[in-house]
């Protein structure tokens, strides 16, 4: 029952509480079960030997009612103290917005850049302002020992200060459903992302370059990068193979058959609508599993994706 | 009103009242319309065990799917339905009614020296309400089933109109089942107050009765809150009132408050009866008064009381204020005291006892072991900063299985084995019952110890698929669940074999001094031929003669 690697001072602090309870439990468990086992062996029923009548021992009874009160008060205290540390956000924290949706994450940085995985500098406090686009989710990083439910219609916040560089997993810890069949199914279990703890220099570089095409990158190339980074690639292939969603091969200008309503030619407006309101028109043969990218993809980014699509003949 | 109710007076002649209750009337109608608490208890037993089997099959499917990474037997959305059904069936159709409705119904009036419960017709009514609720649940499953988890959290449960209809059926089922629970609770409270045999003072009440008393109070007070919550959910769905759905201006966290305001006490509705049985088993098989009888009895009531004050400990990460979290963490630790008191007293009862390891006692000892783990791991979850990490991981899953399954279910099986000879008049094979107990115990620990490990490492619950580093532990857990299943089936087989070919049991196979063992096996229709007069406590082994303590496992007279 070992805790995972701790990436922050706060995590180490949680571990202290954890191991105090752990060893306390081990001792109590051995005490109770040891005594019970000994009694079972020593007082096994023997012919002709009767049980001794139960007596009273008020001191014993009182002490095992009162002694736990002190232990419990102590546990409460260490838990609360650690929790309070966690609740007070340092005023100089970098603010990053985190949005949860069915089924993914979107992080928005002060420079306007968006990523599906979280980037944070080492040794600096980062405040996450979390929200949800649809149902409840929960933002959970085991290595940092932090967790917070994201609630639609409400902002909650959370902070951390990692003290080591490296990658750690982000999970969704509050059940949020699932859809689709077979290998194309997606849901709660797939809301796994990563936090990359970068050196301050790398993080600053990311902030300088992020939020648009990189210097020297063409718009279609930027669109291609978004295709990978925003995980469109998870459902849409470029080579004609059918995945959870239709392939993007030759998508621009092709006529699509919908489950309801007339056929639609994939022009700029339709593609934009498909990205922002994917359930408005559903391509025949597919399920309504594509998440909306409203608030996640910016207009400029959608334009870049469309110009990338135009290159896919 | 200290006299006994005579619900059947007029319908039966005296000879009928004093025949074996299984032979008093035959044909399906004699069961379907019976007002006999013993037959109603048996009918409940059959249905809750069927629910246990169904919920268990879902659990095995869930564990099988998780045996390896990625797709194993079902797709993700199907998996979501499987674990939802496992949880909902186990909680609402099995565990909550399990002990009170089946063994409680059968044993409680007998332990009181009464002829029946106070309101036999309401007792039958509550059984039929249970069946109606179960039918709603089946309809919802037939429609393709819910996938919300047994907690029905909003707004997910309201999100998609198609799924929400199924949620409606399932919540309607739970709503109806609630009434069955309330009526049983009410019936027991009145029965305990008014139908105690002469001489059966409050300080002589068996601890099983004390447990049922505490449970009934909770059932009567907490279940209406669940009904109100589900009604609000139904109204929101049908009339579009904005209560919980943020899209309509509602508050999803409000639902969690309402839900846990019932469901935390429900945890005690589930565990207190298990504890109540274990108190009986430890006393009987150690032949001693339970150490600290008064403390054990009062701790059930204390749990019932404190249980109402801690609901929000399920919501430490939900966005409640820090001070609310502080308050609920502190209150949660209070629960540990009465639970601890029970464990210490049971252990102390063994000291200088005369301990027999008959199969029911194996379950009592397993309970002690497993419940201690379940209780101690609760300390981790009450501690705020540690809970933030462990919340909604497999650690929580393992913790509540140790309490609910390792506690209640193990206690329930122990209780079934203990009262089985009285109920059916048949003995079972001790060897296969003991093998079943050991396999269950080992399988259970393998299944859930590995889940503690996964949880502390951050494996979130309700995941269809997982990262590679968890695969090994998931395999171990799945293997454990198979061992557990073999153990349970062995026990079931033992009992079926006993029904079919078991030797007739004696009147008092365990040499117990408790009241319910003093009447015939199986009991007569009116439980006791004459109203018993109670002159000593249910565990006063030191006052009993050697003859009274003789274990007549088998009836000498095969004609009986
Ligand atoms: Cu989620
Ligand atoms: Cu609780």
pLDDT tens-digit map of A90-139: 988 999 999 999 889 999 888 778 888 999 999 999 999 999 988 999 99
In the block, tokens 């044909």 appear at B27
Structural domains in chain B plus CATH codes: 38-556 (1.20.210.10)
Q: Mean pLDDT for chain A?
A: 89
User: Are B379 and A25 in contact (CB < 8 Å)?
Assistant: yes
Q: Which of residues 130-189 of B touch A (CB under 8 A)?
A: 147-149, 153, 155-156, 159
Which of these, A145, A22, A163, A170, lies nearest to A85 by C-alpha position?
A: A145
Beta strands in B431-470 (DSSP E): none
- A33: nearest CA in chain B? B369
Query: Least CA distance to A47: which residue of chain B?
Result: B354
Q: What is the pTM of this model?
A: 0.86
Determine whether domain A219-310 maps to CATH 3.40.50.2300: no
Interatomic CA distance for residues B310 and A278, integer angstroms:
42
Give the start-to-end residue ranges of the domains of chain A: 11-45+54-87, 94-209, 219-310
Question: pLDDT grade, residue A215 (50/70/90)?
Answer: low
Mean pLDDT confidence for B337-342: 92
Query: Does residue B1 have a pLDDT over 50?
Result: no
B453-499, pLDDT tens digit by residue?
999 999 999 999 999 999 999 999 999 999 999 999 999 999 999 99
Reported as a single tens digit per residue, the pLDDT across B16-32 is 788 888 888 888 888 88
Ligand 2 centroid vs B323 CA: distance in angstroms? 18
Residue B126 has what pLDDT?
94
Which of B388, B393, B378, B381 is closest to B320 using CA atoms? B388
Residues of A with CB below 8 A from B80's CB? 177-178, 187-188
CA-to-CA separations, B3 to A8, B12, B118, B186, B230, in angstroms, rounded: 69, 19, 11, 19, 40
What confidence score (pLDDT) does residue B304 get? 87
Q: How far is the CA of B66 from the centre of ligand 1 (A)?
A: 19
Ligand in nearest proximity to the CA of B311: 2
Flag if B357 and A44 touch (Cβ within 8 Å): yes
- Residue to mutate among A177, A184, A234, A292, with most B CBs inside 10 A, is A177
- pLDDT bin (cut points 50, 70, 90) of residue B557 is low
Q: Is A135 on the interface with B (CB under 8 A)?
A: yes
Measured in angstroms, how far is the CA atom of residue B378 from the centroid of ligand 2?
10
- Please give the C-alpha separations between residue B434 and each of A80, B407, B490, B501, in angstroms, as whole numbers: 45, 18, 9, 18
Can you name the CATH fold of A94-209?
Immunoglobulin-like (2.60.40)
Place of tokens 């995941």: B463
Q: Which of residues 432-491 of B touch A (CB under 8 A)?
A: 452-453, 456-458, 460-467
Q: Are B384 and B420 in contact (CB under 8 A)?
A: no
Whole-number Å distance, alpha carbon B267 to ligand 2 midpoint, is 7
Q: Do B247 and A152 touch (CB under 8 A)?
A: yes
């Amino acid at each position: 029952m070992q805790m995972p690697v701790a990436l922050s001072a706060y995590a180490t602090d949680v571990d202290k509480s954890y191991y105090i309870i752990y060893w306390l439990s081990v001792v109590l468990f051995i005490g109770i079960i040891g005594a019970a086992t000994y009694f079972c062996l020593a007082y096994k029923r023997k012919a002709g030997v009767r049980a001794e009548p139960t007596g009273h021992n008020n001191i014993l009874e009182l002490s095992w009612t009162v002694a736990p009160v002190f232990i419990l008060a102590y546990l409460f205290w260490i838990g609360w103290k650690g929790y309070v540390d966690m609740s007070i956000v340092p005023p100089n924290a970098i603010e990053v917005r985190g949005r949860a949706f069915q089924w993914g994450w979107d992080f928005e940085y002060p420079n306007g850049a968006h990523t599906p995985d979280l980037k944070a500098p080492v040794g600096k406090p980062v405040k996450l302002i979390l929200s949800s686009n649809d149902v409840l989710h929960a933002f959970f990083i085991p290595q940092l020992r932090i967790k917070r439910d994201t609630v639609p219609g409400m902002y909650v916040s959370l902070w951390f200060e990692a003290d080591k560089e490296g990658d750690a997993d982000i999970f969704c810890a509050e059940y949020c459903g699932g859809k689709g069949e077979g290998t194309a199914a997606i849901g709660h279990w797939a809301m796994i992302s990563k936090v990359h703890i970068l050196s301050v220099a790398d993080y600053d570089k990311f902030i300088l370059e992020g939020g648009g095409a990189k210097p020297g990158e063409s718009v279609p190339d930027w669109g291609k990068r978004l295709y990978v980074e925003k995980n469109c690639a998870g459902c849409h292939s470029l080579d004609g193979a059918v995945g959870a969603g239709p392939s993007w091969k030759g998508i621009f200008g092709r006529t699509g058959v919908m489950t309801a309503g007339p056929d639609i030619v994939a022009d700029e407006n339709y593609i934009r609508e498909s990205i922002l309101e994917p359930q408005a028109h559903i391509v025949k043969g597919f399920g309504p599993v594509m998440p909306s990218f409203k608030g996640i993809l910016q207009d400029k980014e959608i334009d870049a994706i469309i110009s990338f699509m135009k290159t896919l003949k | 009103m200290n006299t006994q109710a005579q619900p059947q007076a007029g319908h039966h002649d005296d000879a009928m009242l004093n025949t074996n209750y299984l032979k008093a009337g035959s044909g399906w109608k004699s069961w379907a319309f019976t007002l006999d608490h013993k037959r109603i208890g048996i009918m409940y037993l059959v249905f809750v065990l069927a629910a246990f089997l169904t919920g268990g099959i879902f659990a095995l499917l869930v564990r099988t799917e998780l045996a390896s990474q990625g797709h194993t037997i079902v797709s993700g959305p199907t998996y979501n339905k499987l674990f939802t059904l496992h949880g909902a069936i186990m909680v609402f159709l099995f565990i909550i009614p399990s002990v009170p409705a089946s063994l409680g119904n059968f044993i409680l009036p007998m332990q009181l020296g009464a002829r029946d419960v106070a309101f036999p017709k309401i007792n039958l009514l509550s059984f039929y309400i249970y069946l109606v609720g179960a039918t709603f649940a089946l309809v919802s499953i037939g429609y393709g089933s819910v996938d919300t988890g047994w907690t029905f959290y909003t707004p997910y449960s309201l999100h998609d109109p198609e799924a929400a209809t199924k949620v409606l059926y399932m919540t309607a089922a739970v709503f109806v089942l609630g009434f069955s629970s309330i009526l049983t609770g009410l019936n027991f409270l009145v029965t305990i107050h008014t139908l105690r045999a002469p001489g059966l003072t409050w300080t002589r009440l068996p601890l099983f009765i004390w447990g049922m008393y505490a449970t009934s109070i909770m059932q009567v007070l907490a279940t209406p809150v669940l009904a109100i919550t589900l009604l609000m959910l139904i109204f929101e769905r049908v009339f579009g009132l904005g209560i919980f759905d943020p899209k309509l201006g509602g508050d999803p966290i409000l639902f969690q408050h309402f839900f846990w305001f019932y469901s935390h006490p429900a945890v005690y509705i589930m565990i207190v009866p298990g504890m109540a049985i274990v108190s009986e088993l430890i006393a009987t098989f150690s032949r001693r008064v339970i150490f600290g009888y008064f403390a054990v009895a009062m701790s059930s009531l204390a749990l019932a009381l404190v249980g109402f004050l801690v609901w929000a400990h399920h919501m430490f990460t939900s966005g409640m204020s820090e001070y609310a979290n502080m308050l609920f963490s502190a209150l949660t630790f209070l629960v540990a005291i009465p639970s601890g008191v029970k464990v210490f007293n049971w252990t102390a009862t063994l000291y200088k006892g005369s301990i027999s390891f008959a199969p029911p006692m194996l379950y009592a000892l397993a309970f002690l072991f497993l419940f201690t783990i379940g209780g101690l791991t609760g300390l981790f979850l009450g501690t705020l900063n540690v809970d933030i990490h462990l919340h909604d991981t497999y650690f929580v899953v393992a913790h509540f299985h140790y309490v609910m399954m390792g506690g209640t279910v193990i206690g329930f099986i122990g209780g079934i084995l203990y009262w089985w000879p009285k109920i059916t008049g048949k003995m079972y094979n001790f060897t296969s019952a003991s093998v079943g107990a050991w396999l269950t115990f080992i399988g259970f620990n393998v299944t859930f110890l590995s889940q503690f490990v996964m949880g502390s490492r951050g494996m979130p619950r309700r995941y269809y698929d997982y990262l590679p580093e968890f695969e090994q532990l998931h395999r171990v857990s799945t293997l454990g669940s198979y061992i557990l299943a073999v153990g349970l089936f062995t026990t079931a087989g033992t009992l079926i074999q006993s029904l079919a070919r078991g030797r007739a049991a004696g009147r008092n196979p365990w040499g117990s001094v408790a009241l319910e063992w003093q009447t015939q096996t199986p009991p007569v229709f009116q439980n006791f031929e004459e109203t018993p007069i109670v002159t000593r406590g249910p565990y006063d082994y030191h006052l009993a003669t050697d003859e009274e303590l003789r274990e007549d496992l088998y009836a000498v007279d095969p004609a009986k």
